[in-house]
Amino acid sequence: MNFLEERIMHDGVVKEGNILKVDSFLNHQLDVELFDQMGAEWKKRFEGIEVNKILTIEASGIGIACIVAKHFGVPVVFAKKTQSVNLDGEMYTAEVESFTHKNKNQVIVSKKFLNENDKILIIDDFLANGCALQGLISIINQSGASVSGIGIAIEKGFQTGGQIIRNMGYKLESLAIVESMDPTTGTVEFRGQ
């Protein structure tokens, strides 16, 4: 078991509706030392692959992406979920259905921050059905940039996203892949990597 799987076993809580709660270390209270370990691990897994920018999506992806960016020495761009007066100029947009909130959001990135020369590493906290990732990939495609790889903290392997994204040919590195989980017993099983 790797460091993230151990942490999930220790502090993760399995909820009804295929939800794994990890808010004590990943997406509400944030364990920055853990993020640092995750950054080092992705740096190893994407060794030799050119990356000049990290793209993530607000809100949970931002903290992780910022610590990971220190390992790659690159800036972070995050896709916004709401229009605001601060978003001016031309923008790339994509529609994303939220797994946790069950609604549809437009995700938005200013054209100023992505272009055809960019080699992007996408970072996010969870992969479930893959809608968030497909939205980010769509934005990257619109900009003409290329996807160098995708780093996910926790993939729920029993949902469809991982297979869809791997079938599209992307290098997807999930640090923990949950094979099954049971809300009545609280057990979590991981896919061997």
Binding site for ligand 5GP (CB under 6 A): 19-22, 27, 60, 99-100, 124-132, 156, 161
To the nearest whole angstrom, how small is the minimum distance from the Cβ of residue 83 to ligand 5GP? 20
Closest by Cα among 65, 81, 80 to 32: 65
The residue among 39 and 61 lying less far from ligand 5GP, judged by its C-beta, is: 61
The residue among 27 and 143 lying less far from ligand 5GP, judged by its C-beta, is: 27
The residue among 7 and 111 lying less far from ligand 5GP, judged by its C-beta, is: 7
Q: Please list, in sequence order, all residues whose beta carbon lies within 8 angstroms of the beta carbon of residue 163, skipping any fewer than 6 positions away.
A: none
Please give the biggest Cα pair distance in the chain: 51
- Could you identify the residue written with the tokens 């437009």? 106
To the nearest whole angstrom, how small is the minimum distance from the Cβ of residue 106 to ligand 5GP? 14
Q: What angle do CA 57, 52, 48 make, to 5 degrees?
A: 115
To the nearest whole angstrom, how small is the minimum distance from the Cβ of residue 59 to ligand 5GP? 8
The residue among 23 and 50 lying less far from ligand 5GP, judged by its C-beta, is: 23
To the nearest whole angstrom, how small is the minimum distance from the Cβ of residue 88 to ligand 5GP? 26
Q: What angle do CA 106, 162, 107 make, to 5 degrees?
A: 10
